[in-house]
Chains A and B, each alone.
Chain A
C-alpha cells in the first residue's frame, strides 16, 4: 500500500465515522434492529417491507439491521443504548420488557396514540399478546413476531396404534393414555418409538408454562416482582411431566433437546411433540407422513404461553425519530401485512383483523392447521417475565432440569427455584 492509498483510506474511514453524525441531524433516519429466530428468507422479507415503507414515506430513511438471535440482538441494542446511540426501534423478546424499562432504554407507546385511528389500531391486537406488552397501565411493546406452543401428531402412527388418526388428545389423561399406546418397545425392552415428548433444553420454562397454565396455576404477578414457583399447581404440573418420563416411561428420559425435536418427529421416533407454531412450515415441508396440529391438551383448563418478539422504541432517540418509528410500526402491523408475514413465516397473525383479510382466509382454507394457533390464543397467557428476567428464569430452568434428570424431586426443585427467585426479586418490591 503506498502513502496515497493509505491517506485515501484514512479519509474514507474518517468520513464513515462522521457520516452517522450528519445523518442524525436529518431527523428522519431510522435504524431498526431485528433478530431472526426461525428458518426461511426473513432478511429478504424485512428488506422488502423497508423498501415498501420508504416508497410511501420518502421523507423517512429506514435502515433495517439484522442483529443475530434474540439474545444477540438485545446484547447489541443494550450495549448501543449504554454507549449513547441505540437503534431507534428494535424487535426484542416480549419478556425483556421489564429489563428494558429498568435500564430506561424504551418509551411507552401511549404518548404516540393520539387519533381515534391510533386507538382502534392498538385495541385490535389479541389481548393474549398484549399481556406481555403492557405494565403499570402503559403499553411498552407492539406485538410483531409472536407464537404459541401447539401439539403436532403423526396420523400414521396413531392408526398403527389403533387410535383415531383424526382425534388428538384433549386432556392430560388422554394425552397419557395415547402416549402409552404409542410407545413401542423391542424384545429386549428398548424403546423404539416414544409416545410423546416435550423439549426441555435451553428454555424449558416456556414449555413448562403450558403445563402450569393447564393446571390453572400462574408463575408470576403482572407487575413482575413476585414468582409462584412453589405453588401446588406448579408442582403438580412438574410432577405430570416427570411422571411421563420416569413413572410411565412414555417420554424420553433426561433432557430432550429442543433443536432435534422436529427431527425426532420426522424420523418417527416420537408420535406427538410439543413445539412452537413457528415450526409449522418446517414440519409441513419435511414430514413424510400425514400429520395434525392441535391445541395442547387441557387439565383444569386449556392453555399455552405466548412467545416471540415485540417492537420497542428507544428512549434516547429524538422525538422526530420516535414519531417516524411509530409510523413504521403502525404501518407494518396493518392487517394485510400482518397476514402476509404470518403466511410467510408461520408466526401468528397479531390481530383479529389479520385473519379476516382475503389472503389469510384463503391460506387457512387451504391449510387448516394454520388456524390452530389463532384459536388457542383465547386461552393463552403472558410468557414468564419479571424484573431481572433472565436470572429469575434461569432459577426455574435449573430447577426443572434437576427434576427432569431425577436429581431433585419436583417439590424440592420448585422450592429451591422459588427461594432463588425470591432472593433476586426482593429488591424490586
Chain B
C-alpha cells in the first residue's frame, strides 16, 4: 500500500468517531424530520401514512405558527444588533487601563456563567409588579405600575432584554480576546499621526475585528432561534402567545400535543430558515471580511 493511501485511511479513521456522532445525532434526525413531515402523526390505532403537503398546508393556516414566526423575527431583531453593539462597547472599555479592570470584566461575564433557568427565576422577580426591582426603580420617578410580563404589549420586550443581558457578556469575551491580538504598534502609530479615538476605532480596530464580528453574528443568530429556556420559566409563551417563539412552539406541539408529524414540519421550516441565514452569512459576509 502506498504512503498516500495509508495517510488517507488514517485521516478518515481519525474523522470517523466525530462523523459518526454527527451523522447519528445531527444529520440523520434532520433527514428523518424532513421525511416525517410528509406523513401523518402515527397513533396507536392509525399508523403513519403519506399525506404529501398536508402538514405544510396546516402550518400555513395556523395563526399561532405565524405569530411565533413574527415574534421570533422581532426577538432576533431585538437581540442580535443590541447584544453585539453592547459587547463591543464593553470590550473596548475594559480593554483600556482602567481602575478595577478585572472586576468589571468579571461583572460583565457573570451573566454568561449563570444557568438560564436560575437567571429566569431571578428576572421573574425583577419584573414582578408592585415590589419587583424594576417597579421600585420606576416607582421612584413616579411612573405607573406596569405588569411587564403580563401584558402582550411589553412581554416580548421583557423577554428580549433578558436574552441581551445574558448574551452580551459572552460576546464581549471574544471581542476582548481579538482586541488584545491587535498589535499595540498600530495604536502607537495612530497616536503619532494624531488620529482621534473614534477614527482609530473606525479605521483600525473595527475592520480588524471583522472576523470576530462574523463569528459572533453567527452565534447571535443561532441563539436568537435557540434560546427558549427563559420562556419556559417566565411566560410559557403567554399571554395569548405574545412570547411564543418558534422553537418553544415546536416543543409544545411535539411533546405537549404529541403531534410529531406537525412538529417535524415546523422543525423543517426552522432548519430551512437557519440554513438560509448561514448561507447568506458565509457566502456573502465572509467575502467582505478581512482576515489578517
Contacts and interface: CB of A to CB of B under 8 A. Distances in A.
A244 interface: no
Nearest to B139: A190
A71 B236 CA distance: 12
B145 interface: yes
Given A201-B150, A394-B252, 13 more contacts: A78-B258, A102-B43, A104-B44, A192-B130, A252-B130, A255-B238, A255-B239, A256-B150, A264-B130, A269-B130, A391-B259, A394-B257, A398-B241
Interface in B230-248: 235-236, 238-241
Contacts of A75: 255
Interface in B126-174: 128-131, 142, 144-145, 147, 149-152
Contact of B257 (A388, A397, A404): A388
Secondary structure of the B side of the interface? loop
A404 B150 CA distance: 9
Contacts of B11: none
Nearest to B143: A190
Given A260-B124, A407-B152, A390 B257 contact: yes
B124 A102 contact: no
A405 B44 contact: no
A255 B149 contact: yes
Given A253-B147, A260-B128, A405 B152 contact: yes
Nearest to B44: A104
* 6 cross-chain pairs, A with B, having the tightest CB-CB distances, nearest first: A254-B150, A255-B150, A104-B44, A254-B147, A401-B239, A401-B240
9 contacts: A104-B45, A190-B145, A201-B149, A253-B147, A255-B149, A257-B124, A269-B131, A390-B252, A397-B238
Interface in A378-411: 388, 390-391, 394, 397-399, 401-402, 404-405, 407
A394 B258 CA distance: 14
Given A75-B255, A388-B257, A405 B130 contact: no
A285 interface: no
Nearest to B153: A405
Interface residues of A, number: 38
Contacts of A259: 124
Nearest to B128: A260
A377 to B, nearest CB: 29
Contacts of A404: 239
B167 to A, nearest CB: 24
B125 interface: yes
B58 to A, nearest CB: 11
Contacts of A253: 147, 150-151
A103 B124 contact: no
Given A254-B147, A254-B151, A201 B128 contact: no
A259 B233 CA distance: 9
B256 interface: yes
A135 interface: no
A188 B236 CA distance: 34
Given A103-B43, A201-B236, A259-B124, A405 B150 contact: yes
Interface string B267-287: 000000000000000000000
Contacts of A71: 255-256
Interface in A254-286: 254-257, 259-260, 263-264, 267, 269
* Interface-centre pick from B45, B131, B259 (highest chain A CB count, 10 A): B131
Contacts of A50: none
B258 A99 contact: yes
A202 B233 CA distance: 10
A266 B128 CA distance: 14
B144 A405 contact: no
A397 B240 CA distance: 7
Contacts of A388: 257
Nearest to A390: B256
Interface string B11-48: 00000000000000000000000000000000111000
Nearest to B236: A202
